[in-house]
Amino acid sequence: MFRVLKKDPLSRLRSALGRDKVLTSPVERKLYSYDATPIPIERAVPSAVVFPESEEDVRRLVELCYEEKIPMFPRGAGSGLTGGAVPTDSRGVAVSFEKMTGIEIDLDNATATVQPGVVTYELQRRVEKLGLFYPPDPSSLKYSTVGGNIAENAGGPRCLKYGVTRDYVLGLRIVIKEGRLLRTGNPVIKDVAGYDLTKLIVGSEGTLGLITSATLKLIPKPPARATVLALFDDLRTVGRAVTRIMTSGIFPSALEFMDGSAVEVVESYSPAGLPKVAALLLIEVDGTPSSVREQAEAISALLREMNVGVSVAPDERSAQKLWGARKNLGPALGNLRSGKINEDIVVPRSHLPEVLPRLKEIARKYDLLMVVFGHIGDGNLHVNLLYDRRNREEEERAERAVDEVFELTLSHSGSITGEHGVGLTKKKYLRWQFGDTGYEILRGVKRLFDPENLFNPGKVVDL
């Protein structure tokens, strides 16, 4: 009598997908156990890194992982800032979508159907050549992927006028429990059939299943744009100026804020010629060439009435220099101290005049360097607390300051995150925001899609 030896799970994976799609060398496993989260987090080195090349590969992978109870940690480019793509269980596999990069454009319906590993900038370049526009523009767009952007519901400066990633996702294909394929939505603008599963999956941070394809809405590309620079002597006026701009009848395509510390930091990292100020706003308007000129003039006039220093970038090169300063802030801050906690709170715009100075009071109370910048037009502020990682006492002060930042945010009807997601680092605060009933509903949704807790376990909600 022969005894049939059961294959180990990784051998089964190799047989199901092909050897070259399942890597187990220590170097690869270690490399894929990181993302861009700047603070120390709980992480595990996965047992393998899997590179599916098709939806069928993903389906087989999930089927097998569900049979063998192997956790799966989906991953785009690993640029996430809250530990979303970081494995938390060494029995699990990291699933990298970097080989799924197909793009199909439907010009007649102005949609693009893309695989998750497509880099967002690459998609934008392709559609812009056809006169179309895919607006979501996280600062990481040159390397982050559409799959990662959808899983995080990423946003950026242009989302003020054009909306966030979720507003462009018309339909999804996602492999959920047991390897079942779920199709949601349709390539149409109107669709009110049943619960909106597409919107639920966008922003679910890989905890409900593995996205294999997305159909995205495209819009006509605006032909011209202009940038206005506004310089402030005090923080309170910034909040009032934002409200004035947003109620003036002009809808800027971007409205970005940098406080005085942010300006100093970026000037010493890569000088753009910005002066010493309490704060500045970068305001972009878009449309036809003549409407862009009119909008820039109107915004300049209303700011001058408030005694704010204003100038309009004379050409695209000067405008890009200003936007370059804003985009350099992330790397510039990384150079400043060994520890950085980067939160991305959101409050209603009208609360900004009160919230901005209160943030600075928290920094003073805990004797910490705080740099604030962000998408102020939609009330989304990046609050960076900088500290020395070797100094445990200072690190603890930073952690206490973060608690206060979130208390302040929630007391102003805000949200703990506008872009970066919950991942591992904000789980505690999600409960604060949702309360017991809301949190129970979130857990129920997770159980429905993933009863065995195998999709990105340990992230967003605990079962």
Ligand X SMILES: Cc1cc2nc3c(=O)[nH]c(=O)nc-3n(C[C@H](O)[C@H](O)[C@H](O)COP(=O)(O)OP(=O)(O)OC[C@H]3O[C@@H](n4cnc5c(N)ncnc54)[C@H](O)[C@@H]3O)c2cc1C
Nearer to ligand X, 283 or 292 (CB): 283
Site for ligand X contains 175 (CB under 6 A): no
Report the nearest approach of ligand X to the CB of residue 422 (Å): 9
The one segment of 69-77, 101-109, 386-394, 441-449 that binds ligand X by CB under 6 A? 69-77
Nearer to ligand X, 306 or 448 (CB): 448
Among the listed residues 46, 71, 92, 156, the single contact to ligand X using CB under 6 A: 156
Site for ligand X contains 77 (CB under 6 A): yes
Site for ligand X contains 457 (CB under 6 A): no
Nearer to ligand X, 260 or 374 (CB): 374
Report the nearest approach of ligand X to the CB of residue 47 (Å): 17
R_g (Cα) of the chain, nearest Å: 23
Site for ligand X contains 210 (CB under 6 A): yes
Report the nearest approach of ligand X to the CB of residue 7 (Å): 27
3-state secondary structure the chain: CCCCCCCCHHHHHHHHHCHHHEECCHHHHHHCCCCCCCCCCCCCCCCEEECCCCHHHHHHHHHHHHHHCCCEEEECCCCCCCCCCCCCCCCCEEEECCCCCCEEEECCCCEEEECCCCEHHHHHHHHHCCCEECCCCCCCCCCCEHHHHHHHCCCCCCHHHHCCHHHHEEEEEEEEHHHEEEEEECCCCCCCCCCCHHHHHCCCCCCCCEEEEEEEECEECCCEEEEEEEEECCHHHHHHHHHHHHCCCCCCCEEEEEEHHHHHHHHHHCCCCCCCCCEEEEEEEEECHHHHHHHHHHHHHHHHHCCCEEEECCCHHHHHHHHHHHHCHHHHHHCCCCEEEEEEEECCHHHHHHHHHHHHHHHHHCCCEEEEEEEHHHCEEEEEEEECCCCHHHHHHHHHHHHHHHHHHHHCCCECECCCCCCCCCHHHHHHHHHHHHHHHHHHHHHHHCCCCCECCCCCCCC
Among the listed residues 47, 88, 124, 140, the single contact to ligand X using CB under 6 A: 140
**Residue 361, both tokens:** 């009071």
**Residue 263, both tokens:** 């300006």
Report the nearest approach of ligand X to the CB of residue 460 (Å): 8
Site for ligand X contains 116 (CB under 6 A): yes
Nearer to ligand X, 64 or 81 (CB): 81
Site for ligand X contains 46 (CB under 6 A): no
Query: Binding to ligand X (CB under 6 A): which residues in 235-274?
Result: none
Report the nearest approach of ligand X to the CB of residue 49 (Å): 12
**Residue 373, both tokens:** 């910048």
Among the listed residues 420, 422, 424, 425, the single contact to ligand X using CB under 6 A: 420
Site for ligand X contains 402 (CB under 6 A): no
Report the nearest approach of ligand X to the CB of residue 303 (Å): 25
Rounded CA-CA distance 270/266 in Å is: 6
Site for ligand X contains 36 (CB under 6 A): yes
Report the nearest approach of ligand X to the CB of residue 450 (Å): 11
Among the listed residues 144, 213, 215, 253, the single contact to ligand X using CB under 6 A: 144
Among the listed residues 74, 92, 287, 414, the single contact to ligand X using CB under 6 A: 74
Among the listed residues 155, 171, 377, 379, the single contact to ligand X using CB under 6 A: 155
Nearer to ligand X, 111 or 139 (CB): 139
Report the nearest approach of ligand X to the CB of residue 336 (Å): 14
Among the listed residues 44, 85, 352, 383, the single contact to ligand X using CB under 6 A: 85
Q: Which phi and psi angles does 53 have, rounded to 5°?
A: -115, -10
The one segment of 63-71, 140-148, 184-192, 428-436 that binds ligand X by CB under 6 A? 140-148
Query: Binding to ligand X (CB under 6 A): which residues in 323-352?
Result: 330
Nearer to ligand X, 206 or 457 (CB): 206
- CA trace torsion 163, 167, 168, 174 (10° rounding): 140
Interface residue list for ligand X (CB under 6 A) = 35-36, 74-81, 84-85, 97, 116, 138-140, 144-145, 147-149, 151-152, 154-156, 205-206, 210-211, 330, 419-420, 456
